[in-house]
Amino acid sequence: MSVDHAAGPGAHGRLGEGREPLRGTDRPLAELFDVALMDLDGVVNRGGAAVPHAADTIAAVGRRGLRTVYVTNNALRTPEAVADRLTGFGVPAAAADVVTSAQAAAHVLAERLPVGARVLVLGGRGLRDAVADEGLTPVDSAEPTPDAVVQGFDPELTYARIAEAAYAIRAGAWWVASNADRTVPTERGIAPGNGSIAALLSAATERQPLVAGKPEAAMHRESMRRSGARTPIIVGDRLDTDIEAGYRASTPTLLVFTGVTTPAELLAAPPEHRPSFLAADLRGLLRPAPSVQVGGAAGAPQATCGGWVARVEDGVLSWTTDAATEADDGDGLDAVRAACAVAWAAADVGAAIHAITPDRPPGCAELTPPAPRD
C-alpha cells in the first residue's frame, strides 16, 4: 500500500487508522513522523551494552527532523539516570527525552489518591522519585496499611520487601504495577521482568494489579503528554507491549529484531501484535518501508515483497522469486515480510499453516508453523 506523503500531519491519521500491517512508504520513515516513541531494552541497549547502530541512527534521524523520546517500561531508573546512561552509550538524550513506566504509574496513583497519600514502593529509585514528584509519600512498611502499593522492576528486591507488599495488598491497599513484562533482555540473555514478580505477588495475595505501562493506555497518554508528539511512531522489539500499544492507540509501529521478538514469533502474531513496519534494527528508520501486496485465491493466499513471493497452498508455506523484480533487497527481510503477510492472511480466514518448505530464502531458516489459535 502506498502512502500519500504530501499531506503532512494528516498522514498520521491515515497511517494509524487502518489495521493493515506492513505498509509501504515512498520516503524514509524518519521523514514521515515528528517523534519516535522508542523503547530502550532490546532496541537501544541490551543491559549494559548499546545495540549496534543505535546511537548513529538516532543521531541521523534527528538531523532529518525525527525527535526521539525514550519510552521504557523499566521503572528502575530516574529519567536523569536513564539519560546519563544513554549518553554513556553515545546516544543523544536528556532527561526531558525520557518517559518511564514509573512516571505513568505515579500519575495514575495521583489521579485517584489525595496529596500526601502513603504509597508503599516496591521498586527502585526511579519509582520512588516518581511517586514523590506527584505529591505522594513513599513508604516501605505495610504498617499502618498504606493507601496503595506500587510495584516496579528492581533487581535488588528481597523476600522481605516482597512480603511487605503482600501484607499491604492483602490488607486492602490498592495495587498498581508499573508494567507486566514477564522478561527483560540483558547482555547475558533473557532475565525475569516485573511481570514475573507481579505473578508471584498475585499468587500470594489472590489479587491482580492495575498495570500502567505498555501496552496500557496510561503509558501512551503519559508519552504523548510529555513528548508533545503530533505524528508519532512507536518503535520497539516486543509484540505484546510496543506493538500492541500502537494497535490500541491507532499509532503506527516499527518492530526491530534486536530484542526479544523472533521472525517465528512474528509469523504467528494475532492482529493486535502485527507491526506497521519491520526492520532488522533502527537503521530501518532511514529507509523507505518496502510495500507488501497480498492477493491470491481465498484458499491459497500469496504475498509479494521486493523480489519474493510467499504462498500458502494446502497448508504449506513456500517462496518463489519474482522474475520481474530483483530479489536482493536492502535489509534482507523482504522474504520474511512476505511470509508474515501471507501467514496473517491465511490465519485470518482460518487456513492453518502446518508445514514450511525446507527450501527457504535468507532470514527464514528459523521459521516454524504457527501454533493454532485458541
Q: What are phi and psi of 17, to 5 degrees?
A: -75, -35
Site of grid cell 491507532: 250
Max alpha carbon distance in the chain (Å)?
73
Q: 4, 26, 34, 41: which is the annotated catalytic residue?
A: 41
Asked whether the beta carbons of 99 and 227 are under 8 A apart, the reply is yes
Q: Which three cell numbers stand for residue 224?
A: 504523548
Three-class DSSP category at 16: helix
* Closest to 261 (Cα-Cα) out of 300, 235, 291, 298: 235
Identify which of 111, 124, 115, 201 has the alpha carbon closest to the alpha carbon of residue 157. Answer: 124
Please state, in angstroms and rounded to a whole number, the distance separating the CA atoms of residues 159 and 200: 11
Rounded CA separation 152/75 (Å):
5
CB-based burial label for 324 (10 Å; 0-12, 13-18, 19+)? exposed
Burial class (CB in 10 A: 0-12, 13-18, 19+), 271: exposed
The position carrying cell 502513603 is 118
3-state secondary structure of 314: coil
Q: State how far the Cα of 118 lies from the Cα of 131, in Å rounded to an integer.
A: 10
Given 4, 26, 39, 331, the catalytic residue: 39
Is residue 11 a contact partner of residue 32, using CB atoms and an 8 Å limit?
yes
**39 in catalytic set:** yes
Is-catalytic flag, 41? yes
Q: What amino acid positions are annotated as catalytic residues?
A: 39, 41
